[in-house]
Structure 1
């Protein structure tokens, strides 16, 4: 059944239409809020179409919201005002914790699909012993998407040290190409050089996450934590980015790295799904590597869990919403999403196997997992992630703010978030 995108109508007009149309054949209509990225939309539409076939008395209407901070505010506002959709898609990990799940979300611990969900994912949707979400997609990683043809043409090695990465960038710049695509119109994309550097931070300061959560470690006073901000500034100051970095969008960045306008795009590997949707003819030409650090012997990958589907406590259709979420979290639901967007990393549902022909960017991830050279991103090992990071990193990446000042400003943002969460020692 073709999916419908919900249009919000004035109350009076909706009432007139309802009276004119008479009773609907569908017994239940669910609302489903998602972000507006192409891969998310495609996967959500595929899930809805499949579910409506097996539950013909259910109609599911999709609503779209922006990503980044604007989308966060929409989710939080709608939860706070009990106006949230029956099912919604949102981050797992620290951002889920910020929703105060015990007060706003339905407990999904007893869904049958949870039996096959990997514990690594359950850990990032659990609070007070309860599970509040099911995975929407596969695991993914943060690092650098790169254009394989540019690397081949210029004879560039895949870098394992930051200095090697910068040397590659200079060669790309000398060849007349954009070395690093940056896309600050979508502010959330500015965070990658900081967030994807966490594997390197963890190697240098293994106790950082614990001490950070306990208010014993700060970005501004931990040299290894400061490096992400410094690397963001270094790339800008070297003139390696596209001239329109302030106005360019996420899709612009994907286009640039896919078509060879740019050699690199710092990004999460969930972008593989958007590449498949928007630039399928270029998918094989995009590779991926972990963000390099200072020690090539300790090169490794920062890993993200996928977002989750949640049911708000205020849903008037909670029983049917739970059934749809249970379907999405099942092996069948996982296979639908993988088939629609291809795998973006390892599967988190037992029995949902990856296809043999995964794109090069995903194949490039697998050796890190095989070598156990991975660590979860900070937001999955600490409940704290300050909401202003994406604005701060835009300033650093634009040459407006210095790294030390930015780190201190982020520490203050984190302090406010920790207090809101009621964490001890803050």
Structure 2
């Protein structure tokens, strides 16, 4: 049963026909179609194995609004029994060692990829989440028929990408780049997905940034992502309704050829599968280009994770469910529900032999040495919460790239001080 978010986290207890105690657990997920579909499929499969356990699935918004809901419900003791949320720096803001149940004692803990596990650890060294999806890349979906019709090639540099956009604008009715600022979190992609390119030029940026020895505003390579967003807006390459369009709209636009590009994480493969399955093979994917054609790679995101709060009344049940998700059976259920969206981080989980073209486009980055690099939020505990508001402003022509970088540095400083990091 899908319900809107409520403030109640009570578990309904009733007797089943055979006298066993039936328990209904609450499960809070973000409202994207793929997350809801995965939650429904996993809970259904678990309930088939454990008929006395059922789940009430609640939804929340994404982006900053969703972050605040998570923090508020944890702080007030009203969090659902299970919830999905980011790995990396955003998790640190939840102070997981105080608010969440560790998963180090799960029977399947040894199957979890070590690099992933490091992104869901608290300051106490314990691990607090299991993967709720596959590893992701941040890049750009593109409409293959438009590229074929115009004779365009997948760009290796930002200059080539902008040249493609210019030809699309001149010769078609499609928007060169879809932007979807009603879902404000989507505005961040051109900044965040540029981080592979930052690391190729400034390999120590994440460490210096964490130590308050480097900032976006005083590091040209890091500020470049804000500049790219401004350049795309200034060129007039966005859809006219970019302020009102949603994430689902962006997926539909690039699938139908109403937009030629949509910057997004590769978890959108699941939304393509859910919303426009007949058009999936019309969409390809490439990494966000840098400024050097010989340096081309993908910014990597660790998957969102499944967590349980310390306030749950049924820790054994939620941990057993987390263990079920962190299994090959859990992976297979996810694949059957939303398709193959990228590499799994559970040992033994495999992708099917045949994957969508957009996934096939992504896999060479994972297979080539040095062609992926983690997003900044997985190398540093600091991510300012105001980034999506600033990128909306840059992408709407309200603010320029320089002032956005400066304001983001100030936002980051507040977050670092709240986390108690040294040198801030």
**TM-score interval, smaller chain:** over 0.9
Deviation at 1:23, TM superposition (A): 4.4
2:119 matches 1:124: yes
Alignment of 1:176-215 (within 5 A): 176-215=173-212
5+ unaligned residues in a row in structure 2: which ranges? none
Runs of 4+ in 1 over 6 A off after TM superposition: 8-11
**Deviation sequence 1:2-24 (CA, Å, 0-9, x none):** xx12467899xx99xx8xx9745
2:372 matches 1:369: no
Identify the residue that residue 384 of structure 2 maps to in structure 1. 386
- In the alignment, the residues of structure 2 paired with residue 10 and residue 209 of structure 1 have an alpha-carbon distance, to the nearest angstrom, of 38
Deviation at 1:27, TM superposition (A): 2.4
Identify the residue that residue 68 of structure 2 maps to in structure 1. 73
Deviation at 1:331, TM superposition (A): 1.1
SS at match of 1:386: coil
Moved more, 213-222 or 111-120: 111-120
Identify the residue that residue 233 of structure 1 maps to in structure 2. 230
Identify the residue that residue 320 of structure 1 maps to in structure 2. 317
SS at match of 1:425: coil
- In the alignment, the residues of structure 2 paired with residue 116 and residue 331 of structure 1 have an alpha-carbon distance, to the nearest angstrom, of 9
- In the alignment, the residues of structure 2 paired with residue 117 and residue 8 of structure 1 have an alpha-carbon distance, to the nearest angstrom, of 30
Deviation at 1:112, TM superposition (A): 1.3
- In the alignment, the residues of structure 1 paired with residue 294 and residue 413 of structure 2 have an alpha-carbon distance, to the nearest angstrom, of 34
Identify the residue that residue 46 of structure 1 maps to in structure 2. 41
**Deviation sequence 1:298-354 (CA, Å, 0-9, x none):** 111000011000010111111111111111111111111112111221111111110
- In the alignment, the residues of structure 2 paired with residue 82 and residue 398 of structure 1 have an alpha-carbon distance, to the nearest angstrom, of 38
- In the alignment, the residues of structure 2 paired with residue 22 and residue 411 of structure 1 have an alpha-carbon distance, to the nearest angstrom, of 52
Alignment of 1:1-80 (within 5 A): 4-6=1-3, 23=15, 26-80=21-75
Identify the residue that residue 149 of structure 1 maps to in structure 2. 145
- In the alignment, the residues of structure 1 paired with residue 407 and residue 217 of structure 2 have an alpha-carbon distance, to the nearest angstrom, of 9
TM superposition score normalised by structure 2: 0.96
Identify the residue that residue 155 of structure 2 maps to in structure 1. 159
- In the alignment, the residues of structure 1 paired with residue 229 and residue 5 of structure 2 have an alpha-carbon distance, to the nearest angstrom, of 40
Moved more, 272-281 or 347-356: 347-356
1:211–1:357 distance in 2 versus 1, CA, 3 Å = same
- In the alignment, the residues of structure 2 paired with residue 383 and residue 298 of structure 1 have an alpha-carbon distance, to the nearest angstrom, of 27
- In the alignment, the residues of structure 1 paired with residue 6 and residue 233 of structure 2 have an alpha-carbon distance, to the nearest angstrom, of 45
SS at match of 2:119: coil
SS at match of 1:263: strand
Check the 8 A contact 2:16/2:52 in 1, yes or no: no
**Deviation sequence 1:274-314 (CA, Å, 0-9, x none):** 00000000111110000000001111100001100001011
- In the alignment, the residues of structure 2 paired with residue 293 and residue 78 of structure 1 have an alpha-carbon distance, to the nearest angstrom, of 40
Deviation at 1:122, TM superposition (A): 0.6
Deviation at 1:38, TM superposition (A): 0.4
1:174–1:296 distance in 2 versus 1, CA, 3 Å = same
Check the 8 A contact 1:302/1:375 in 2, yes or no: yes
Aligned positions, number = 417
- In the alignment, the residues of structure 1 paired with residue 5 and residue 97 of structure 2 have an alpha-carbon distance, to the nearest angstrom, of 29
Check the 8 A contact 1:137/1:338 in 2, yes or no: no
SS at match of 1:131: coil
- In the alignment, the residues of structure 2 paired with residue 10 and residue 228 of structure 1 have an alpha-carbon distance, to the nearest angstrom, of 38
- In the alignment, the residues of structure 2 paired with residue 103 and residue 195 of structure 1 have an alpha-carbon distance, to the nearest angstrom, of 29
Residue 266 of structure 1, aligned match among 259, 263, 266: 263
**Deviation sequence 1:167-211 (CA, Å, 0-9, x none):** 000011012221000000000000000000000000111100000
1:9–1:34 distance in 2 versus 1, CA, 3 Å = closer
Identify the residue that residue 290 of structure 2 maps to in structure 1. 293
Deviation at 1:403, TM superposition (A): 0.6
SS at match of 2:101: coil
SS at match of 1:298: coil
5+ unaligned residues in a row in structure 1: which ranges? none
Check the 8 A contact 1:331/1:351 in 2, yes or no: yes
